[in-house]
A = this chain, B = another copy of it.
Amino acid sequence: MASSRRALALLALPLLAASPAQQTPAPSPTPYEAVDPFIGTGGEGHTFPGAVAPFGMVQLSPDTDAECQIRECYAHAAGYRYDDPTIAGFSHTHFSGAGHSDLGDFLVMPVSGEAVPLEPGDARVPGSGYRSRFSHDGEVARPGYYAVTLRDAGVRAEMTAGTRVGVHRYTFARGKAAHLVLDLRRSLYNYPGKTLWSSLRLRPDGTVTGSRRTRGWAPDRQLFFAMRFSAPLKDHAFVSTEKDVAYKGFQGPGRGSDAVAERQGRALVGRFDFGRLEGPLEVRVAISSVDEAGAMTNLDAEPGGFDAVAARTRVAWEQALGRLDVAAPAPMRRTVYTALYHSLLAPSVAGDADGRFRGPDNAVHRAAGFTFRSTFSLWDTFRAEHPLLTLVQPAATTSDIVRSLLASRRASPDGILPVWQFQGRETWTMIGYHAVPVIADAYLKGIGGFDADEALAAMVASATYAPYGGLGDYMKRGYVPIDREPEAASKTVEYAYDDWMIARMAEKLGRRDVAATFDKRAAYWRNSFDPKTGFVRARKSDGAFRTPFDPTAINYGSDYTEGNAWQYSWFVPQDQAALFRAMGGDGKAIAKLDAMFDYDNSQLDYSHAEDIAGLIGQYIHGNEPSHHVAYLYNHAGAPWRTQARLKQIVDTQYKPAPDGLSGNDDLGQMSAWLVFTALGFYPVTPGSLEYVIGRPFVERATLALPGGKRFTVVADGLSDANPYVGRVTLNGEPLARSYLRHDEITAGGELRFTMRSRPNRAWGKAAAARPYSISRR
């Protein structure tokens, strides 16, 4: 990290760096400079350090992973791990922080010299393949830019990316022949049989196009590319390494040669030879989910060489990051800006420049008047990521997201909204119909550009589709029965929240019938709450809770989704007050929250569960079910306990280092939590138009809003010694309630915290001062 930052400083500030005698403190880095894409590339973050534009379709990043079988691939879900010694190549698609994976499409690796290995080789045996050792010396990662020196390849590699284009720049060892290997056999989360089909084609104008169809996380995904080189191609080979082909058909032109115009197969690798080059080789690559023509259209839509693309993307990042102006000590500022950066990667653009996109039906559609986006990790992102985008991005971003969700539903074979979708393809990962809160929250916040009646119809269709996730039983019984559907406890409470959002959307649209139906369903969480134990539990068809019951047990396909009763017993964001009453009142709720955080977990081993990381007792910050929990003290009238817990979380779960994320970033959700929390408030209940006030972690933050408005948070007296909020004012007036309204932010103004060393137990205690709950309003 240190070395990478040195390299960055050398590039960005050559004069200052060259003048150590100058004693004035260096000016604070710009938001762009404050971002460290290495954060999360070690540990559990699963982020990637490579080049990407805001919400870019292309994520051009190094892959260090060794060949892995599925479960072993978890650590390499984003392709790169900071501690790995070798790089296998640079591929064009990566998830930021996913807990499951795929992608790593179209891996390119430069090779200098005469011998051009077509296999990656063994990471432990240098020179055994095209894989190359690298070190962090001279490795640079900035938003939209990545550079590394490949020791064995003898190449300096630089990457940048536009929206639908990635550009490689390779400087080969002087006097040595320049080659590229393009390996279509490699993929993230690879395994035998994953590649259903692939193709390579050299067109007469020198453009290389190709495709891959894979059976991975998306059960059938097609991706196409178009690639152009800055230097003329001297020779090439398209090689198939597939064995045991039962029937090979007839051979086309170039019989017996690999220098054919095209090749198809299940295991293809391409070699491109450029001879000795005077300068660097630039490789422009665009991708498309539609077809090769789409990839070529995308390539043409973003013209220019490496520097031109890099400059445009830098401007785009500066604008996007610059909407939030943060003053804080350098480490926290770096953490916050990197979190903001990570929250601006998904839902990424997935449609072509001409509007065409591939939908959940695997057919090609056209987006009229909007940009189709995908990579919807909705179970994660409905919580804070989408509410954050609504605040820090132009309205068009969220409008595009909603229109993309609705377009996907129109193309859904099941007629329902996306669950976990990428590149337009559904993976059926995680639970719930959490496109619902994303759409409803956006609509209630005034985001337009879509047909609200269609949106409501899509929500209702998704919430009433009996074959999905036990919904048939849920509708009939008021809960999902665990003997008929796994993870029934989690499903019941999450469905109930989504149902509440449908009711709010229907209410807003004057559809009282729909609102009444779903308001009733919004209370179904009660059917899964066991007053005896005080936990949300899974019920069987006969009505009894399933036994034996161990609130600490975490297993896939059990009563809960990536969690246990401790985490899931807090998920009633639509009515936390009612939940607390069911638990026996605020005092008992607070005691239970404390018991959760203070649980002695030293005897527990959750290493079998991939996504369980970042433990504080039974609070698991590395996974989403816990994300709103620290704020719930506010609902019980004890914001000072929230403030204490937030400090505990921020201090232990985030740091500006490769292992700086305690869990998968989950397409921005972990980061969005931090951005909100740093600013002092958090959307516990998307759709309520409220943000629960925690405590700020930055001295000052200003959010640029539409119409030139600004909303500023100030934390007077902020320090480690002053972890508690003494007083809050909004636009100079004392704020007695422990929540903020959305319109108070969008109107512009100043939220000022006075921090102090001891709790203010009175503030936010009154019932009227507490955040949203159905039963309180």
Which chain A residues have a beta carbon within 8 Å of chain B's beta carbons? 70, 189, 191-194, 196-197, 199, 201, 203-204, 211, 213, 215-220, 245-247, 249-255, 257, 259-262, 264, 291-293, 361-364, 413-416, 420, 426-429, 465, 467-469, 485
Contacts and interface: CB of A to CB of B under 8 A. Distances in A.
29 contacts: A189-B247, A192-B246, A193-B246, A197-B213, A197-B220, A199-B220, A199-B362, A201-B413, A204-B415, A211-B362, A215-B247, A216-B247, A217-B250, A249-B428, A250-B420, A252-B426, A252-B428, A252-B468, A253-B416, A253-B428, A253-B468, A254-B467, A255-B485, A261-B414, A262-B361, A262-B413, A262-B414, A291-B363, A292-B363
Contacts of A260: 467
A219 B264 contact: yes
A220 to B, nearest CB: 5
Contacts of A250: 217, 420, 427-429
Given A192-B246, A465-B253, A361 B426 contact: no
A553 to B, nearest CB: 22
Interface centre among A191, A194, A250 (most CB of B within 10 A): A250
A699 B415 CA distance: 65
A523 B445 CA distance: 81
Contacts of A249: 215-219, 427-428
Nearest to A470: B255
A378 to B, nearest CB: 14
A420 B251 CA distance: 12
Top 8 A-B residue pairs of the complex, sorted by shortest distance between their CB atoms: A253-B467, A262-B413, A254-B467, A253-B468, A250-B428, A252-B428, A191-B246, A261-B413
Nearest to A466: B253
Contacts of A416: 253
Nearest to A260: B467
A220 B70 CA distance: 28
Nearest to A291: B363
A62 B385 CA distance: 57
A363 B260 CA distance: 19
Contacts of A429: 250
Contacts of A467: 253-255, 257, 259-261
Contact of A197 (B197, B204, B252): B197
A426 B253 CA distance: 11
A247 B196 CA distance: 13
What is the count of identical protomers in the complex? 2
Nearest to A198: B220
A204 B409 CA distance: 13
Given A197-B215, A211-B362, A219-B249, 20 more contacts: A70-B247, A189-B247, A193-B246, A193-B247, A194-B247, A197-B220, A217-B249, A217-B250, A250-B420, A250-B427, A253-B414, A253-B468, A253-B469, A257-B467, A259-B467, A261-B413, A291-B363, A291-B364, A292-B361, A293-B363
Given A249-B219, A363-B292, A197 B199 contact: no
A189 B196 CA distance: 20
Nearest to A485: B255
A427 B420 CA distance: 39
Contacts of A219: 249, 264
A410 to B, nearest CB: 12
Contacts of A196: 196-197, 213
Contact of A193 (B218, B245, B413): B245
Contacts of A264: 219-220
A110 B671 CA distance: 57
Contacts of A257: 467
Contacts of A189: 247
A691 B415 CA distance: 62
Contacts of A215: 197, 247, 249
Nearest to A189: B247
Contacts of A262: 361, 413-414
A163 to B, nearest CB: 23
Interface centre among A413, A429, A465 (most CB of B within 10 A): A413
A247 B189 CA distance: 10
A362 B255 CA distance: 21
Contact of A201 (B291, B361, B428): B361
A420 B250 CA distance: 10
Nearest to A193: B246
A541 to B, nearest CB: 15
A356 to B, nearest CB: 11
Contacts of A255: 467, 469, 485
A400 to B, nearest CB: 24
A155 to B, nearest CB: 30
A362 B212 CA distance: 13
A523 to B, nearest CB: 25
Nearest to A252: B428
Interface centre among A213, A218, A253 (most CB of B within 10 A): A253
A373 to B, nearest CB: 21
Contacts of A192: 246
Nearest to A250: B428
Nearest to A420: B250
Contacts of A293: 363
Contacts of A427: 249-250
A765 B220 CA distance: 69
Interface centre among A192, A196, A249, A468 (most CB of B within 10 A): A249
Contacts of A253: 414, 416, 428, 465, 467-469
A467 B259 CA distance: 9
A644 to B, nearest CB: 38
Contacts of A217: 249-250
A190 to B, nearest CB: 10
Nearest to A257: B467
Contacts of A415: 204, 261
Nearest to A430: B250
Nearest to A69: B246
A194 B247 CA distance: 8
A365 to B, nearest CB: 9
A250 B102 CA distance: 13
Contacts of A199: 220, 362
Contacts of A364: 291
Contacts of A292: 361, 363
A467 to B, nearest CB: 4
A428 B428 CA distance: 41
Contacts of A220: 197, 199, 264
A213 B251 CA distance: 20
A195 to B, nearest CB: 10
